[in-house]
Amino acid sequence: MSIERNRTALSIEKEHTRELTVMKFGGASLENAAAISHAALLVRNEYRWGRPTVLVLSAMRNVTDMLEKLCESTEPFEDLMEKHNAVLRSLNLSDAQKFLVQQELNSTYHEAIRNALLAQRYGVENPTTALEYRDRVLSCGERLVVRLFTAALRANDVPAQTIDSSEIIQTDNTFGEAIPDLQTSFNRTVKKINPLIQQIIVPVITGFVGSTVDGRITTLGRNTSDYSATLIGRFLGAKQIILWKEVNGLYDKNPNAYEDALFIDEATFKKVAEMNSKVIHKKAFEPLYKTDIVVFIKNVKNPNGIGTKLTDEPSGSITLFQLKQRMQETGGVPRVWRIYKADLF
Choose the binding region for Mg ion from 22-30, 145-153, 226-234, 282-290 (rule: CB under 5 A).
Answer: 22-30
Kindly state the DSSP code that residue 141 receives in the 8-state scheme. H
Is residue 58 near Mg ion by the rule CB under 5 A? yes
208 binds, among ligand ASP, Mg ion, none (CB under 5 to 8 A by kind): ligand ASP
Instruction: Please state, in angstroms and as integers, the Cα–Cα distance from residue 177 to each residue in 110, 206, 218, 223, 276, following that order.
Output: 24, 16, 8, 11, 18
Site mask for ligand ASP (CB under 6 A), range 292-321, x = bound: ------------------------------
What's phi and psi for 221, nearest 5 deg?
115, 150
- Of 30 and 336, the one with the shorter C-beta distance to ligand ASP is 30
Contact between 277 and ligand ASP by CB under 6 A: the answer reads no
User: Smaller CB distance to Mg ion: residue 58 or 162?
Assistant: 58
Residue 180 binds Mg ion, judged by CB under 5 A:
no
Asked if residue 224 binds ligand ASP (CB under 6 A), the reply is: yes
Stretch in the footprint of Mg ion (CB under 5 A) among 35-43, 55-63, 82-90, 151-159: 55-63
Backbone angles phi, psi at 118, to 5 degrees: -65, -40
Distances from the Cα of 183 to the Cαs of 21, 187, 303, in angstroms?
22, 6, 34
* Least distance to ligand ASP, CB of residue 158, Å: 23
Residue 223 interacts with ligand ASP (CB under 6 A): yes or no: yes
Question: Which of 21, 29, 64, 308 touches ligand ASP (CB under 6 A)?
Answer: 64
- Residue 131 CA to residue 119 CA, distance in Å, equals 7
Partner residues linked to 161 by β-bridges: 203
Counting contacts by CB under 6 A, is residue 69 touching ligand ASP? Answer: no
Task: Let me know: does 227 contact 286? Beta carbons within 8 Å.
Answer: yes
Give the Cα separation of 244 and 220 in Å (integer): 20
Minimum CB distance to Mg ion, residue 58 (Å): 4
* Packing angle of the helix pair 63-72, 95-125 (nearest 10 deg): 40
Contact partner, 255, from ligand ASP, Mg ion, none, Cβ < 5-8 Å per class: none
DSSP secondary structure letters along 49-100:
TT--EEEEE-PSTTHHHHHHHHHHS---SHHHHHHHHHHHHHS---HHHHHH
Does residue number 189 form part of the binding site for Mg ion (CB under 5 A)? no
CA 227 to chain centre: 8
Residue 222 binding: pick among ligand ASP, Mg ion, none (C-beta 5-8 Å cut-off by kind): ligand ASP
The binding site for ligand ASP (CB under 6 A) comprises 27, 58-59, 64, 141, 207-208, 222-225
